[in-house]
Structure 1
Amino acid sequence: MWRKRIIGIGIILMVGLACLLARLVQVQLVETKHFTKHNINLTEASVKQRSEEIVLDNGRGGFLDKDGNFLTHQTQSVLILFPFLKSMDWNKSKVAEIIGVSEYQLQDAVKTAKAPIVFGGDDPISLTDLQREAINKMAIPGVFAVEKKDSLKNNLAEQLLGITGQNEELLAKRYPDKKLSFNTLIGLTGMEKSFDEFLLPDGEAKLVYHVDGIGKPLFGINVKYVEPANPFYPVNVKTTINKDLQETAEKLVDEQGIKKGGLVLLDLETNSVAAMVSRPAINKQSPYETEGINNFMLKQQIVGSVFKTVVAAAAIDYKLDDDKRMFNCSQKINGDPDPNYQHGMLNFTNSFAVSCNNTFATIAKELKNIDANILENYAEKLSLTQIVGWEGAIYHTKNFKQLQDEEKGRVFLTEEAKKDNNFVALTGIGQNEVRVTPLAVANMMATIARGGEKQNVRIASEIQYKNRSTLLKFKQEDLSGDTISPYTAARLQKLLREVIVNERGTGSWFQDLPYEVAGKSGTAETDVMIEGKQLHNKWFAGYFPYDKPRYALVTVNLGVFADEGGVNPLFADMVKSVYKYDLKSK
Structure 2
Amino acid sequence: MQVQLKRRIYIACILLTGLFSLLMIRLAWVQVVQINRTMPGFQRTVREMSVLQRERGVILDTGRGQFTDYKGRPLTGKLEWGLVLFPHPDQTNHSYPSTKSVVKELAALLHTDVNSLQKEWNQGNAPHFWTAGANQPSTLTDSQVARLRELKAQGASVYPLMTRYGQAATGMQWLGYLAEQPEFPNAQSRHKNEVKQPFAMKSGAAGLERTMEPLLMGIGPTLLTRMVTGSGEVIPDIQPRVIAPANTHYPLRAETTINIDLQQGIEQLVKKSGMKEGAIVVLDAANADVRAMVSAPFYHPLHVDPKQTAWANRAVQGAVPGSIFKIVTAAAALEYHAVSKGETFHCDGEWGKYGLSCWKEHGHGTLNLEQGFAESCNIVFAETARRLSMEQLERTAVALGLARPVGWEGKRVAGMPVLHHFDHEDAGRVRLPSVSPQDEGAKVQTAIGQRDVLVTPLQAANLIVTLLHDGQVSAPRLVQRIRYADGDTMLDMPMHDSPSSAGRISPATAHQLLSWMKKVVSDGTGKSLQHARWQVAGKSGTAQVQQHGEKRNHQWFIGYGPTDQPKYAVAVLVQNVAPSSRHQATAMFRKVMDYLAESS
Deviation at 1:295, TM superposition (A): 0.8
Residue of structure 2 equivalent to 1:71: 75
Verify: 1:569 aligned to 2:587, yes or no: yes
Deviation at 1:347, TM superposition (A): 1.1
3-state SS of 2:398 partner? helix
After TM superposition, the structure 1 = structure 2 runs for residues 6-405 of structure 1, keeping only pairs within 5 Å, are 50-77=54-81, 80=84, 82=86, 89=97, 105=109, 112=118, 113-114=121-122, 115-117=127-129, 122-126=138-142, 146-151=159-164, 152-154=166-168, 156-167=170-181, 183-282=200-299, 284=303, 286-290=305-309, 293-322=311-340, 324-334=342-352, 338=358, 340-368=361-389, 372-393=390-411, 394-405=413-424
After TM superposition, the structure 1 = structure 2 runs for residues 412-491 of structure 1, keeping only pairs within 5 Å, are 412-414=431-433, 417-481=436-500, 482-491=503-512
2:200 and 2:131 mapped to 1: Cα distance? 26
Verify: 1:406 aligned to 2:425, yes or no: yes
Query: Does the 8 Å contact 1:326/1:345 carry over to 2?
Result: yes
3-state SS of 1:248 partner? helix
Deviation at 1:102, TM superposition (A): 9.4
Deviation at 1:514, TM superposition (A): 0.7
3-state SS of 1:237 partner? strand
Q: Which amino acid in structure 2 is aligned with residue 405 of structure 1?
A: H
2:80 and 2:491 mapped to 1: Cα distance? 28
Per-residue CA deviation, residues 165-212 of structure 1 (Å, 9 max, x unaligned), is 12559x99xx99x99999432211111111011111422212111122
1:78 and 1:535 mapped to 2: Cα distance? 48
Query: Does the 8 Å contact 1:82/1:143 carry over to 2?
Result: yes
Deviation at 1:50, TM superposition (A): 4.0
Sequence identity, in percent? 31
Deviation at 1:313, TM superposition (A): 1.1
Per-residue CA deviation, residues 516-572 of structure 1 (Å, 9 max, x unaligned), is 111111111124464xx4122111111111111111111111222212342122211
2:107 and 2:264 mapped to 1: Cα distance? 39
Q: Which amino acid in structure 2 is aligned with residue 569 of structure 1?
A: A
2:463 and 2:61 mapped to 1: Cα distance? 41
Structure-2 change in CA distance of 1:107 and 1:409 (3 Å): closer
Q: Which amino acid in structure 2 is aligned with residue 495 of structure 1?
A: W
Deviation at 1:236, TM superposition (A): 2.4
1:396 and 1:168 mapped to 2: Cα distance? 25
Aligned length: 516
Structure-2 change in CA distance of 1:60 and 1:243 (3 Å): same
1:285 and 1:308 mapped to 2: Cα distance? 38
Q: Which amino acid in structure 1 is aligned with residue 375 of structure 2?
A: V
Query: Does the 8 Å contact 1:328/1:346 carry over to 2?
Result: yes
Q: Which amino acid in structure 1 is aligned with residue 585 of structure 2?
A: V
3-state SS of 2:443 partner? helix
Query: Does the 8 Å contact 1:79/1:127 carry over to 2?
Result: no
Residue of structure 2 equivalent to 1:21: none
Deviation at 1:81, TM superposition (A): 5.9
Structure-2 change in CA distance of 1:84 and 1:528 (3 Å): closer
Per-residue CA deviation, residues 374-393 of structure 1 (Å, 9 max, x unaligned), is 11111011101221110122
Deviation at 1:141, TM superposition (A): 7.3
1:418 and 1:48 mapped to 2: Cα distance? 78
2:51 and 2:383 mapped to 1: Cα distance? 76
Structure-2 change in CA distance of 1:60 and 1:384 (3 Å): same
After TM superposition, the structure 1 = structure 2 runs for residues 525-536 of structure 1, keeping only pairs within 5 Å, are 525-528=544-547, 530=549, 533-536=550-553
TM-score by length of 2: 0.77
Per-residue CA deviation, residues 123-146 of structure 1 (Å, 9 max, x unaligned), is 4124899x79x969x999757554
2:336 and 2:304 mapped to 1: Cα distance? 54
**Match among 521, 528, 553 for residue 500 of structure 1:** 521
1:322 and 1:231 mapped to 2: Cα distance? 67
1:48 and 1:279 mapped to 2: Cα distance? 54
Residue of structure 1 equivalent to 2:576: 559
Structure 1 or 2, whichever has the larger Rg, is 2
Deviation at 1:60, TM superposition (A): 2.0
Query: Does the 8 Å contact 2:276/2:296 carry over to 1?
Result: yes
Q: Which amino acid in structure 2 is aligned with residue 242 of structure 1?
A: N
3-state SS of 1:160 partner? coil
Residue of structure 1 equivalent to 2:5: none
Structure-2 change in CA distance of 1:400 and 1:108 (3 Å): closer
RMSD: 3.7
3-state SS of 2:482 partner? strand
Per-residue CA deviation, residues 195-241 of structure 1 (Å, 9 max, x unaligned), is 01111142221211112244443244221111223332222211111
Deviation at 1:48, TM superposition (A): 12
Structure-2 change in CA distance of 1:244 and 1:417 (3 Å): same
Structure-2 change in CA distance of 1:108 and 1:166 (3 Å): closer
TM-score by length of 1: 0.79
Structure-2 change in CA distance of 1:509 and 1:80 (3 Å): same
Query: Does the 8 Å contact 1:76/1:126 carry over to 2?
Result: no
Deviation at 1:473, TM superposition (A): 1.0
3-state SS of 1:310 partner? helix
1:148 and 1:508 mapped to 2: Cα distance? 53
Q: Which amino acid in structure 1 is aligned with residue 371 of structure 2?
A: N
2:268 and 2:367 mapped to 1: Cα distance? 40
Q: Which amino acid in structure 2 is aligned with residue 412 of structure 1?
A: R
Deviation at 1:437, TM superposition (A): 0.9
2:110 and 2:98 mapped to 1: Cα distance? 11
Q: Which amino acid in structure 2 is aligned with residue 105 of structure 1?
A: L
1:312 and 1:103 mapped to 2: Cα distance? 69
Structure-2 change in CA distance of 1:480 and 1:127 (3 Å): farther
Verify: 1:539 aligned to 2:556, yes or no: yes
Per-residue CA deviation, residues 393-433 of structure 1 (Å, 9 max, x unaligned), is 21333432112310112112237532221111111101111
Q: Which amino acid in structure 2 is aligned with residue 165 of structure 1?
A: A
Structure-2 change in CA distance of 1:249 and 1:74 (3 Å): same
3-state SS of 1:392 partner? strand
Q: Which amino acid in structure 1 is aligned with residue 454 of structure 2?
A: R
Query: Does the 8 Å contact 1:278/1:295 carry over to 2?
Result: yes
Deviation at 1:257, TM superposition (A): 2.3
Stretches of structure 1 lacking an aligned partner (at least 5 in a row): 1-45, 94-100
